[in-house]
Amino acid sequence: MSKFKITGGIPLHGEVTISGAKNATLPILAATLLADSPSTLHNVPNISDVHSFLALLEQLGAKTNFQTSENGIGGTVTVDPSELKNTPLSGEKVCHMRASILFLGPLLARFGEAKIDFPGGCVLGKRSVHAHVHALTSLGSQLTESTTQIHLTATSNADSPGHLTPAKIIMAEASVTATENAIMAAALTPGTTEIRWAAMEPHVQDLCNFISAMGVKIEGIGTHTLIVHGQPTGENHSSPLTGTTHTVTPDYLEAGTFALAAVLTNGEITINNCPTEQLDSFWQKLEEVGAKFTLHDNRAQIHKHSPEGESSDEKSHGLHAIEQLKTAVFPGFATDLQAPFTVLLTQCQGESRVHETLFEGRLNYLEELKKMGAASYLQNPQQATITGPSPLQGTTVKSCDIRAGAAVVLAALVAEGESTITDIVYTDRGYEKFEEKLRGLGAKIEREA
């Protein structure tokens, strides 16, 4: 497997442009199946998860094309679902990719049946499918029990035979992907469906905007209650929706990661294509630790927070601990920025508490940070205490998941000496040209086979 070699202690300087959001791209790609005609997506990140997802679309009979942009960052994807077929999804890409569960909603709505192998992905606790099944059975589908597959079938609908039934869905939890499946299924369910306690993350909003452009009226976008006015499929499962052109929202998680990289190295960078308003809780915590930055509509400038020449093993560069970093559903602090932000807390003066409320196993990366010299105490699988500042030392550490992979890269940027990051397949799944963008800011990072 490939690995990163990183020499730390170099302040970052320059400009970086944020790619399209992976977490918006994948559900929108799934939603292209709701129409019979092609859709075109711009600002699509050129990452392994996107290409794996395109391969799954091809398994279902859709024709796909990825055209890389002239500057090499991102590209344009065209999906033609005119020859879509309801083939059970199985194989390695399904089992290793949690996002494959996003095919449940559109396939069930188009064909009245969906069958996929249990999806995999990052090792972040058990990742139950209960919220998905609850939402889709609320629309009038039935689950066939299986230990290896998720198999849902639309039950008989007297008003619209072969279709799901509109309903008031109270989500079992504010799950992002379960909400997205409910929205996609409701889009082709004739009548009005109300989705309460819906997730309202920026990528959910982007999916709603895309489906709206295809011809479905959705009320309440950006709130916890969505009203979807669905339309019925026609003969031979034809769709009344029309493919459209859409530009994927920028990745606020990538933007936050680069902001943290600049603060950690006491650098000065400008983050372009930055969705600043999607990061309110992040900016609040960054301000709380003493970081300096200026926000614009689609750009963020990170400034030095202390004079040059202060030794990181003696001072925290003026950064101080916070009472608590607690993850929450949007607009609370994003769970996907918790690990990178905790690296910053290792460099802050005092004791900070971290509380991960959404995923089991998300604090496993703390063992990797300890190898580098971080001082942390794990109270239980979801709560930890971080004491800083801790002078980090370069060593060999691994990526535990997509966001933890970014976290150990950030730790290596501030560590003394050389670090080796293994298992970077996770990083490649979530960050486009991560090392190239960091090198453009002056970081000493190389990829080795």
Q: Calculate mean pLDDT across residues 55-81.
A: 94
Per-residue model confidence as pLDDT tens digits over 92-113: 878 778 899 999 999 999 999 9
Q: Identify whether residues 383 and 262 lie together within a single domain.
A: yes
Is the same domain home to 272 and 173?
no
At 311, the pLDDT band (50, 70, 90 cuts) reads: very low
Q: Are residues 272 and 211 in the same domain?
A: no
Q: Side chain identity at 215, as an amino acid letter?
A: G
Strands 217-219 and 225-230: antiparallel
Query: pLDDT tens for residues 140-185?
Result: 999 997 878 899 999 866 565 568 999 999 999 999 999 999 999 9
Q: Which pLDDT belongs to residue 121?
A: 47
Domain stops at, among 228, 247, 266: 247
pLDDT value of residue 158: 55
Cβ-contact 59, 89 below 8 angstroms: yes
pLDDT, greater one: 235 or 254:
254
Q: In CATH, what number is assigned to the domain containing residue 344?
A: 3.65.10.10
Q: Which of 221, 247, 273 is where one domain is finished?
A: 247
Which of 226, 247, 268 is the last residue in one of the domains?
247
pLDDT for the residue numbered 19 = 97
Task: Determine the Cα–Cα distance for residues 37 and 32; give it in Å rounded to an integer.
Answer: 9
pLDDT, tens digit (0-9, with 9 covering 90-100), for 195-232:
999 999 999 999 999 999 999 999 999 999 999 999 99
Q: Are residues 230 and 266 in the same domain?
A: no
CB 415 within 8 A of CB 372: yes
Determine the pLDDT at residue 125: 43
Task: Judge whether residue 312 has pLDDT over 60.
Answer: no
The confidence score (pLDDT) of residue 157 equals: 60
For residue 425, what are the domain limits?
3-18+251-448
pLDDT of 122: 43
State whether the Cα torsion 332-335-336-341 is positive or negative: positive
Backbone torsion region of residue 91, taken as left when φ is above 0, otherwise alpha when ψ lies between -120 and 50, otherwise beta: left
Going by pLDDT thresholds of 50, 70 and 90, the confidence category of residue 313 is very low
From CA 113, how far away is CA 426, in angstroms rounded?
32
Comparing 131-145, 227-241, 299-313, the range with the smallest average pLDDT is 299-313
pLDDT for the residue 269: 98
Res 118 pLDDT > 90: no
Alpha-carbon distances, residue 223 vs 156, 219, 274 (angstroms): 32, 9, 22
**Separation between Cα atoms, residue 412 and residue 225, nearest integer Å:** 42
Query: What is the mean pLDDT of the segment spanning 122-136?
Result: 72
- Which amino acid would we find at residue 195? I
Look at the block and give the residue holding tokens 């039935």. Answer: 142
Residue 123 is predicted with a pLDDT of 42
Co-location of 329 and 373 in the same domain? yes
Of 65-74, 334-343, 414-423, which gets the smallest average pLDDT? 65-74
What are the residues whose beta carbons fall under 8 Å from the beta carbon of 311, sequence distance 6 or more? none
pLDDT of residue 93: 79
Residue positions annotated with a catalytic role = 122
Do 309 and 211 reside in the same domain of the chain?
no
**The pLDDT value given to residue 306:** 83
Q: What is the pLDDT of residues 2-14, one digit of tens each?
A: 999 999 999 999 9
pLDDT band at 55 (very low <50, low <70, confident <90, very high): very high
**Across all residues in the chain, what is the average pLDDT?**
93
Nearest C-alpha neighbor of 11 from the set 283, 271, 288, 302: 302
* pLDDT tens per residue, range 150-161: 999 998 665 655
Q: In the chain, how many domains are there?
A: 2
pLDDT beyond 60 at 81: yes
pLDDT tens digits along 328-338: 999 999 999 99
Q: Which residues pair with 230 in a beta bridge?
A: 191
Q: Looking at the predicted structure, is the pLDDT value of residue 192 above 70?
A: yes
What's the pLDDT at 308? 59
Q: Are 202 and 24 in contact (CB under 8 A)?
A: yes
- The Cβ of residue 324 has, within 10 Å, a number of other Cβ atoms equal to 12
* pTM for the full predicted model: 0.94
pLDDT of 256-270, one tens digit each?
A: 999 999 999 999 999
Are 180 and 56 within one domain? yes
Q: Write a three-state SS string for the chain.
A: CCEEEEECCCCCEEEEECCECHHHHHHHHHHHHHECCCEEEEEECCCHHHHHHHHHHHHCCCEEEEEECCCCCCEEEEEECCCCCCCCECCHHHHCCHHHHHHHHHHHHHHCEEEEECCCCCCCCCCCCHHHHHHHHHCCEEEECCCCEEEEEECCCCCCCCCCCCCEEECCCCCHHHHHHHHHHHHCCCEEEEEECCCCCHHHHHHHHHHHHHCCEEECCCCCEEEEEECCCCHHHCCCECCCEEECCECHHHHHHHHHHHHHCCCEEEEECCCHHHHHHHHHHHHHHCCEEEECCCEEEEECCCCCCCCCCCCCCCCECCCEEEECCCCCECHHHHHHHHHHHCCCEEEEEEECCCCCCCCCCHHHHHHCCCEEEEEECCEEEEEECCCCECCEEECCCHHHHHHHHHHHHHCECEEEEECCHHHHHHCCCHHHHHHHCCCEEEEEC
Q: Which two tokens stand for residue 57?
A: 């679309």
175 and 320 fall within a common domain: no
Residues 281 and 302 in one domain: yes
Maximum distance among all Cα pairs of the chain, rounded to whole angstroms: 75
- Position 71 scores a pLDDT of 81
Answer yes or no: do 240 and 178 share one domain. Answer: yes
pLDDT of the residue at 137 = 96
d(CA 156, CA 188): 16
Question: Residue 237: pLDDT above 90?
Answer: no
Q: CB of 206 within 8 A of CB of 152?
A: no
Share of the chain above pLDDT 90, in %: 84
Question: What angle is formed at CA 96 by the lines to CA 256 and CA 426, rounded to 5 degrees?
Answer: 35
Looking at the fold, whether 242 and 376 belong to one and the same domain comes out as: no
Residue 316: predicted pLDDT:
53
Whether residues 208 and 353 share a domain: the answer is: no
From residue 354, give the alpha-carbon distance in Å to each of 271, 277, 368, 384: 26, 24, 16, 5
CA atoms within 13 A on the CB side of 82: 7
pLDDT surpasses 70 at 273: yes
Size of the chain, expressed as the number of residues it contains = 449
Question: For residue 318, what pLDDT is reported?
Answer: 86
pLDDT digits (tens, 9 = 90+) for 385-425: 999 999 999 999 999 999 999 999 999 999 999 999 999 99
